[in-house]
């Protein structure tokens, strides 16, 4: 059995996930800056309404709800990013651990073990990509609406 395709598959999976996550992280950082600017606007409008005599209670309530909603979105996005980071790290680590093991001596009597590891790693890679989809949607959609 030729183990080179398995070796290169592990290499490709780890490189692809690292690149995709790096791009996702860059978009995430950009989105966090956008959230920060949005939050500054909310605080400014809230302070303006609070300084009025008498205070504009409708605006205060509206800005408070808007700020809470934005904070919830950021919190959800940060949790999703953390989950994606953990799964991506595990998958890349597994690829790097299994790459040196893909040689004829390691699985001489049982090539099915090598294929089992490969199928499991590919499944983990697809799981990571599945986790990226809602992140991309949450990071890119709000930027497109502006």
> How many Cβ atoms sit within 10 Å of the Cβ of residue 27?
16
Work out the average pLDDT over 72-96. Answer: 93
Which pair of tokens denotes residue 53?
A: 């005599």
Q: What percent of the chain has pLDDT over 70?
A: 97
> How many Cβ atoms sit within 10 Å of the Cβ of residue 119?
10
Mean pLDDT of the chain: 88
| Nearest alpha-carbon partner for 73 in 34, 21, 35, 130 | 35
- Dihedral (CA of 30, 82, 130, 14) sign: positive
Work out the average pLDDT over 106-135. Answer: 89
For residue 143, pLDDT over 70 is answered with: no
| Nearest alpha-carbon partner for 45 in 78, 75, 28, 70 | 70
Helix or strand run (H / E) with residue 131: helix 111-145
Which pair of tokens denotes residue 57?
A: 């209670």
pTM above 0.85, yes or no: no
């Amino acid at each position: 059995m030729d183990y080179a395709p398995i070796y290169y598959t592990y290499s490709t999976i780890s490189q692809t996930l690292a690149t995709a996550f790096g791009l996702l992280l860059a978009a995430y950082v950009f989105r966090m800056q956008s959230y920060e600017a949005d939050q500054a606007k909310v605080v400014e409008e809230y302070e303006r309404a609070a300084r009025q005599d008498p205070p504009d209670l409708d605006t205060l309530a509206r800005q408070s709800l808007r700020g809470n909603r934005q904070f919830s979105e950021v919190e959800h996005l940060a949790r999703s990013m953390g989950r994606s980071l953990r799964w991506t790290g595990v998958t890349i680590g597994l690829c790097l651990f299994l790459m040196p093991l893909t040689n004829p001596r390691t699985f001489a009597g049982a090539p099915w073990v090598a294929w089992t590891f490969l199928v499991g790693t590919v499944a983990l890679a697809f799981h990571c990509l599945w986790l990226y989809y809602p992140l991309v949607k949450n990071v890119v959609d709000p930027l497109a609406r502006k």
